[in-house]
Amino acid sequence: MLTAKGLFQEIIDNDEAFRLFCSIAASGEAQGGWENGRIAALVPPGMRELAPKITRHGADEDKHGRIFHALLRKRGLDPVPVPPETDYTMLLERNGIGLPHDKLRREEPLSERDIIVYLSHSRVTEQRAADQMDMLVTYFGNHPELGKAIHMICDDEENHLAYCHEELLRLAYAGHGRLIHRTLRESALSEIKIYRDVSLAVMGHMGRILKWPAVKSAALVAGIHGMYAYERVGGWHKMVNLAMPERRDALGGPPVPAPAF
């Protein structure tokens, strides 16, 4: 029987598969760090109180990238180029989730609307990240090689998600509710398609590395399509609901260092 735990165990146990997994993860985190750093630098004057939190978010993403690289180094592995079809963050940006990179490369301040759109997009993608890390902690939280790293990243992702909830609710109360609702819905429906396509691409590469039989690969493809169908019918609502989090001001302090990595 195919299980998420079993699949990840196969990836962890094989150096080439683990190398690809960590390379994809590190690349995405590094891009997220750059994006948040640029957004923090371009926050409009009327919203400067958000800049330290966005900076903290970017610093956390950079830290996660370093953690994945450190996991590779501990095995004596070098990162590999990320196949474009598996690059989740790049594909998100190409499909309009996240602020355009050409805008972030300029030195012009962003608008209030840009920041609201950024937070809405982050609400959706951080839900995905938090759910994935929660799953990894459940299955591998006590793993001697990965446990400490995934606990640290999971805690950060929960902070990022809480921050998005709190700031979007504050902006909704300030009169931006309609824009937030529309952007969340559009982002979630786009994200689930991209996540499906990236999942298919990643599992295709893993199947070739791990030499999965055709029947196993076919079952995984069917499972990924089934998950997309569930999310398309209604599962996406989890990504757009807003509720005041238990963790208040989750990004209000300095980044938490990762000295072990």
pLDDT in tens, the chain (261 residues): 678 899 999 999 999 999 999 999 999 999 999 999 999 999 999 999 999 999 999 999 999 999 999 999 999 999 999 999 999 999 999 998 889 999 999 999 999 999 999 999 999 999 999 999 999 999 999 999 999 999 999 999 999 999 999 999 999 999 999 999 999 999 999 999 999 999 999 999 999 999 999 999 999 999 999 999 999 999 999 999 999 999 999 998 777 676 666
Decide if 92 contacts 35 (C-beta within 8 A): no
Residue with tokens 């069917």: 222
- Domains annotated for the chain, with CATH where assigned, are 4-239 (1.20.1260.10)
Q: Report how far residue 70's alpha carbon sits from residue 67's, in angstroms, rounded to the nearest whole number.
A: 5
Is 251 within 8 Å of 53 (Cβ atoms)? yes
Q: Cα separation of 60 and 45, whole Å?
A: 24
Contact, 232 vs 185, CB < 8 A?
no
Q: CB-based burial of residue 85 (10 Å sphere; 0-12 exposed, 13-18 middle, 19+ buried)?
A: middle
Helix (H, G, I), strand (E, B) or coil at 95: coil
Q: Which CA distances in Å does 32 have to 37, 38, 49, 62, 214? A: 8, 10, 20, 8, 35
Task: Return the amino acid letter for 217.
Answer: S
Tell me, rounded to whole angstroms, the distance of Cα 18 from its chain centroid: 18
Instruction: Kindly report the length of the chain.
Output: 261
**Consecutive H or E run containing 144:** none
Distances (CA, A) of 63 to 33, 86, 87, 239: 9, 21, 19, 25
Compute CA distances 38 → 17, 83, 99, 183, whole Å.
Answer: 32, 25, 10, 21
Using CA atoms, how far residue 170 sits from 112, 164, 187, in Å, is 13, 10, 20
Whether the Cβ atoms of residue 119 and residue 168 lie closer than 8 Å to each other: yes
pTM here is: 0.94
The whole-number pLDDT of residue 259 equals 65
- Residue 116 contacts residue 176 (beta carbons within 8 Å): yes
